[in-house]
Amino acid sequence: MDDTGTPPRERAFHRSIGVFSGTAINMTQMCGIGPFITIPLMVATMGGPQAIVGWIVGALLAMADGLVWAELGAAMPGSGGTYVYLREAFQSRSGKLMPFLFIWTMLLAIPLLMSTGIIGMVEYLRFFFPGLDGWRSHVVGVAATGVVTWLLYRRIESVRVITVALWVIMLVSIIGVAAAGFSHFDARLAFGFAPDAFGGRFFVGLGAGLIIGVYDYLGYNTTAYIGDELRDPGRTMPRSIIISITAMMVIYLLLNISVLGVAPWREIAASTSVASLVVERSWGHGAASVMTALIIVTALASVFTGLLGGSRVPFEAARDKVFLSVFGRLHARHGFPHVALLTMGLGTAIGTFFDLTDVINMLLAATILVQSIAQVVALVVLRRRRPDMPRPYRQWLYPVPCVIALVGWIYVYVSASVLSLVLSGAWISAGIVVFLLWARVNRAWPFAPADAPSHPAEIR
């Protein structure tokens, strides 16, 4: 047993990530290029400067959900995050259905979400290369994905150093854009609320705005996916989650206010590269060029940390024989799940060829059901069934954060488009069919008692 109470595994990961580097990993994944492309969407959806409310509400939901992650992650600090929590909470009643569905969703969702970072990067590259479109943009997107995958193809100690460096660049880019906005700040623009700003339209737009806000905060749970690589997980996990959410809320509010103080909100809402617009208007083309370059690096950083955490998800499932065994292999020399990393890297590259708006909405809707809502239920189930489980961190004000998270996620889910709900339902249904086929071959639940071991033969 190690100092976390976790049995050592053969060729275990190196526990080298502390609170500082863990927070850097979370914040880098949370930000990325997200706010630089979603501020116009939030302003347009909310109908004016009242968009700042969307960031605040999004932070409240993220914090409530983050406290769910903090308790579960500190109690079960294995790589895989939600997969581990669902397995422990539901396996005695429904076998491996819930963790299987989670892996089924994440194996596609993570690469496609990472593709949005690559696509956003290409959009900002057009500031330098206006003719970057068609097949040229696809080539650049694939090449960028290859570079990120190559950077991750090494020991976690090297990854930690790279992550902190990219985190610093991310902070510089955000601070730079905010500083540019505040240097030419006009409070009448930033706080020029219309008389009906908080009327009926506000509450109609809040649902769609909350989807955008939640998307920008996603990533606060990245350290939960690399629990085997955290020093003192019971301390590092909750602190990295709580600090990263709080810090990003402050950063997003300052960034949003600074941007709205430079140009009329309708002009901001119509912009496709709002950061470049703000810096160029405040400091000129040269400064905008520098800041745009930093934003491009920030986009790569978000993809970097997303693939870092995401590649650990199918690895953990494969080690427990809930997924294809090939995903359970570690690199012979550096000890990281190279098959899972390469697979997700390939999926990210493929995703850059498509318009991901509708697909990502569908995948987010599916994620809310299979991950967010299911995980809240998992925490309650484990509190009741396993009260003796070691919990280095216990959720503050339990069960209030669970209730807030559950209500918030349901509100976000029903606010999604009808197409997203239909497609996400179809994807989950397909996953259930695949699971039943897998369970039949492996003689697992529902074709055997839930607590019976699977058939020894592995699917390859």
**175 within a domain of the structure (yes/no):** yes
**403 within a domain of the structure (yes/no):** yes
**207 within a domain of the structure (yes/no):** yes
Answer yes or no: is pLDDT of 455 > 90. Answer: no
Sign, CA dihedral 335-328-303-232, equals negative
Q: How many whole angstroms separate alpha carbon 40 and alpha carbon 443? A: 51
Answer yes or no: is pLDDT of 375 > 90. Answer: yes
Which residue has 């639940």 as its token pair?
A: 445
- Give pLDDT, residue 317: 77
- Give pLDDT, residue 144: 93
Average pLDDT, integer, range 366-379: 93
Which residue has 């493929």 as its token pair?
A: 350
**450 within a domain of the structure (yes/no):** no
Average pLDDT, integer, range 307-316: 79
How do residues 118-129 score in pLDDT, each as one tens digit?
988 888 898 898
Q: What mean pLDDT value characterizes the chain?
A: 84
Which is higher by pLDDT, 325 or 113?
Answer: 113
Strands of 364-441, DSSP E: none
Instruction: Decide: 118 and 352 in contact? Cβ < 8 Å.
Output: yes
pTM: 0.81
How do residues 214-255 score in pLDDT, each as one tens digit?
888 988 988 887 777 888 888 898 999 999 999 999 988 999
Instruction: Quote the Cα angle for 402-395-27, to 5°.
Output: 90
Strands of 224-379, DSSP E: none
In this structure, which amino acid lies at residue 42?
M
The closest of 281, 259, 343, 253 to 57, measured between CA atoms, is 253
Local confidence band at 4 (pLDDT 50, 70, 90 cut-offs): very low
- Give pLDDT, residue 376: 97
The closest of 353, 460, 341, 288 to 112, measured between CA atoms, is 353
> 430: domain range?
19-442
Q: Write the CATH number for 346.
A: 1.20.1740.10
Q: How many whole angstroms separate alpha carbon 328 and alpha carbon 316? A: 7
Q: How many whole angstroms separate alpha carbon 166 and alpha carbon 304? A: 9
- Give pLDDT, residue 93: 84
**94 within a domain of the structure (yes/no):** yes
β-bridge partners, 79: 226
How do residues 172-228 score in pLDDT, each as one tens digit?
888 899 999 999 999 999 998 888 888 777 877 888 888 888 888 988 988 887 777
- Give pLDDT, residue 160: 65
**449 within a domain of the structure (yes/no):** no
- Give pLDDT, residue 113: 83
* Phi and psi at residue 388, to the nearest 5°: -90, 0
Domain count, the chain: 1
